[in-house]
């Protein structure tokens, strides 16, 4: 291990990924006047966006009656492109107003759609967002190649506001610029935008391999100041330490592992084996853990995703590598009691924030309340030896002797119980299921004692039988189900266009029972040391199960 003395100059390696190439785009020509023109108001279908656009429409009717407005909702949820609508606007309209961007994923999507209309359909477009997302959408327009794309802001929130309150937003001033909202909108569609300077790029397309020599204290300050840490002490990534980490794989240091971004439409940053190794060193991981860390990086799933719902990841390791590196699957497996569990999860978090170009509140991270699970991504091994069923990786199609790592995403809702009572265990489990958020299916995290109780009480000799029972038990009346805001945002929008299994529940009577979770989305993991039959139900999507052996 490298030793240092006070004031000794060290050279360390830069942990940041490589920014994407930015393709410059040209905006659409502006209109000389809006009089006699048709303006499309595009509802992004998120949290009452349409209600604010109705007030924009009312403003035009009252103040500029010569303008015809057409209010349209996007065909599916905000994250999907809508070329049919874009073509209609190009053919029948003259300009567009799209909104409202007021979450960490819909705001980038709204501005991306605006750039598409401008650059591909030659439709002058202005995007409306709430003021919490100023820096977010400014970065999106830069990375999208149209940094001068018009942005207008209204106060946060839009959801749940009355007509009068939304009218005040529209008739009031932009809280970011201080200018009247509707004047900004009209000006954005009628006044020329600055052109693109040839060759100018908003971000450099490379990062240095090495930092300038400095003392240990100065380097720690540098890493903290640049947002390269999780605000806990790190191991400085000297070339010697990174070389030792690279010995944990046969892959070449300059091999590209993948590309990652904090949320869609923010730009995919590229990273190599060496860049992953730098972050693994910073986390305090050992070289024997490195194949697992590389496999996580290769999923291209960020452990520092920017979602205003404050999601986290959960990481489950299966197969022989669990024991090879000494991971914990028993007592305290999900807590800070094992070096491999702790540092593999921490490395995943650090590589995610650094290799995707940052995880900075107000800029590249917008989790409203945050999530303490993101410190190490709930990283643990499955207790395969004490499980009465096949392990998770076998359920996902791998051989039992394969080593894998699985990533779940969500981890915003957790319910908790102790064993299964003789008489009312079914009702108790149903109560837990109804406490799981409706857009992320449950992952049952079962101590081996409870896993065996599910067999003793319910006869679920096969894991698939338990999963089917969970699917059949998690039911909610349709009226309540469709009234959930998350369901409105992410499931109803897709169901109305036939893109969700829940489409069969559209238009049913309010008392019709809706099965909340699909069988394919429900998972069961056995973990724990049999100190007692405590267990949890975690709301989380299965995102990927990948081979670790490929990265040895």
Spatial neighbors of 273 by CB under 8 A, at least 6 apart, are: 246, 249, 251, 252, 253, 254, 255, 257, 294
Q: What is the DSSP string of 240-285?
A: HHHHHHHTT-SS-TT-EEEEE-SSTTS-PEEEEHHHHHHHHHHHT-
Phi, psi of 281 (to 5 degrees): -60, -50
Q: How many separate helices (H) and strands (E) can be counted in the chain? A: 19, 15
Asked whether the predicted pLDDT for residue 3 surpasses 60, the reply is no
* Comma-separated ranges of CATH 3.40.50 domains in the chain: 38-190
Q: Within its chain, how far is the Cα of 464 from the centroid?
A: 29
Phi, psi of 449 (to 5 degrees): -60, -45
Half-sphere exposure of 219 (CA within 13 A, CB side): 25
Reported as a pLDDT band with limits 50, 70 and 90, residue 7 is: confident
Q: Over range 347-357, report the average pLDDT.
A: 97
Q: What is the pLDDT of residue 47?
A: 85
Minimum mean pLDDT range among 118-122, 470-474, 491-495: 491-495
Q: How far is it, in rounded angstroms, from Cα 158 to Cα 308?
A: 14
Spatial neighbors of 400 by CB under 8 A, at least 6 apart, are: 319, 390, 391, 393, 394
**Maximum distance among all alpha carbons in the chain?**
76
Reported as a pLDDT band with limits 50, 70 and 90, residue 372 is: confident
Average pLDDT of the residues of the chain? 93
Reported as a pLDDT band with limits 50, 70 and 90, residue 203 is: low
Q: What is the pLDDT of residue 238?
A: 98
**pLDDT tens for each residue of 47-66:** 899 999 999 999 999 999 99
Half-sphere exposure of 465 (CA within 13 A, CB side): 11
Q: How far is it, in rounded angstroms, from Cα 302 to Cα 104?
A: 14
Q: Over range 333-355, report the average pLDDT.
A: 97
Please, what CATH class does the domain formed by 38-190 belong to? alpha beta
Q: What is the pLDDT of residue 198?
A: 47
Asked whether the predicted pLDDT for residue 196 surpasses 60, the reply is no
**pLDDT tens for each residue of 407-439:** 999 999 899 999 999 999 999 999 999 999 888
Q: What is the pLDDT of residue 5?
A: 61
Q: What is the pLDDT of residue 289?
A: 98
Q: Over range 531-539, report the average pLDDT.
A: 93
Phi, psi of 545 (to 5 degrees): -125, 120
% of the chain at pLDDT higher than 70: 97
Q: Over range 182-201, report the average pLDDT.
A: 77
Name which of 425, 434, 433, 435 is nearest 458 in CA terms. 425
**pLDDT tens for each residue of 274-313:** 999 999 999 999 999 999 999 999 999 999 998 888 899 9
CB–CB of 273/252 below 8 Å?
yes
CB–CB of 446/537 below 8 Å?
no
Other beta carbons within 10 angstroms of residue 180's beta carbon come to 15
**pLDDT tens for each residue of 79-113:** 889 999 999 999 999 999 999 998 888 999 999 99
Rounded (5°) CA angle 427-513-392: 60
Asked whether the predicted pLDDT for residue 127 surpasses 50, the reply is yes
Q: How far is it, in rounded angstroms, from Cα 77 to Cα 82?
A: 10
Q: What is the pLDDT of residue 494?
A: 87
């Amino acid at each position: 291990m490298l030793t240092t003395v006070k004031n000794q100059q060290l050279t360390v390696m830069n942990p940041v990924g490589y920014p994407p190439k930015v393709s410059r785009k040209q905006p659409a020509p502006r209109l000389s006047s809006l009089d006699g023109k048709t303006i499309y108001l595009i509802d992004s279908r998120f949290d009452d966006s349409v209600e604010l656009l109705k007030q924009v429409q009312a403003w035009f009717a009252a103040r500029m009656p010569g303008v015809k407005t057409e209010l349209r909702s996007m065909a599916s949820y905000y994250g999907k492109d809508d070329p049919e609508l874009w073509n209609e606007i190009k053919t029948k309209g003259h300009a567009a107003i799209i909104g409202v961007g007021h979450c960490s994923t819909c705001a980038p999507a709204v501005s991306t759609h605006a750039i598409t209309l401008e650059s591909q359909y030659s439709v002058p477009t202005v995007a409306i967002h709430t003021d919490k997302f100023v820096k977010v959408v400014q970065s999106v327009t830069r990375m999208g190649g149209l940094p001068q794309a018009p942005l207008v802001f209204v106060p946060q929130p839009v959801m749940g506001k009355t007509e009068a309150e939304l009218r005040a937003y529209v008739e009031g001033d932009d809280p970011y610029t201080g200018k009247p909202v509707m004047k900004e909108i009209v000006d954005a569609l009628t006044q020329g935008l600055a052109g693109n300077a040839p060759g100018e790029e908003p971000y450099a397309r490379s990062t240095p391999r090495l930092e300038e020599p400095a003392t240990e204290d100065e380097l720690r300050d540098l890493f903290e100041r640049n947002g390269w840490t999780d605000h806990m002490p790190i191991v400085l990534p000297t070339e010697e330490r990174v070389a030792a980490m690279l010995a944990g794989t046969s892959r070449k240091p300059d091999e590209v592992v993948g590309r990652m971004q904090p949320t869609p439409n923010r730009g995919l940053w590229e990273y190599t084996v060496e860049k992953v190794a730098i972050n693994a060193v910073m986390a305090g991981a050992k070289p024997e853990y490195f194949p697992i860390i590389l496999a996580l990086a290769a999923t291209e799933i960020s452990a520092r995703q920017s979602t205003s719902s404050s999601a986290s990841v959960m990481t489950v390791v299966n197969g022989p590598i669990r024991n090879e590196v000494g991971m914990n699957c028993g007592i305290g497996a999900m807590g800070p009691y094992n070096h491999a569990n702790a540092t593999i999860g921490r490395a995943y978090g650090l590589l995610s924030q650094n290799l995707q170009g940052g995880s900075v509140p107000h800029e590249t991270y917008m989790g409203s309340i945050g999530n303490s699970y993101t410190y190490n991504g709930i990283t643990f091994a499955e207790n395969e030896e004490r499980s009465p069923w096949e392990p998770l990786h076998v359920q996902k199609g791998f051989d039992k002797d394969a080593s894998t790592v699985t990533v779940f995403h969500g981890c915003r809702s957790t319910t908790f119980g102790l064993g299964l009572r003789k008489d009312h265990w079914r009702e108790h489990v149903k109560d837990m299921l109804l406490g799981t958020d409706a857009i992320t299916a449950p992952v049952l995290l079962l101590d081996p004692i409870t896993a065996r109780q599910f067999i003793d009480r319910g006869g679920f000799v096969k894991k698939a039988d338990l999963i089917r029972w969970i699917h059949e038990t998690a039911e909610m009346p349709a009226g309540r189900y469709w009234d959930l805001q998350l369901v409105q945002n992410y499931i109803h929008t897709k169901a109305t266009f036939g893109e969700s299994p829940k489409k069969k529940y559209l238009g049913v009577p309010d008392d019709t029972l809706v099965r909340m979770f699909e069988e394919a989305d429900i998972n069961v993991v056995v973990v724990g040391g049999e100190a007692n039959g405590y267990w949890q139900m975690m709301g989380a999507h299965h995102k990927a199960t990948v081979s670790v052996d490929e990265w040895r």
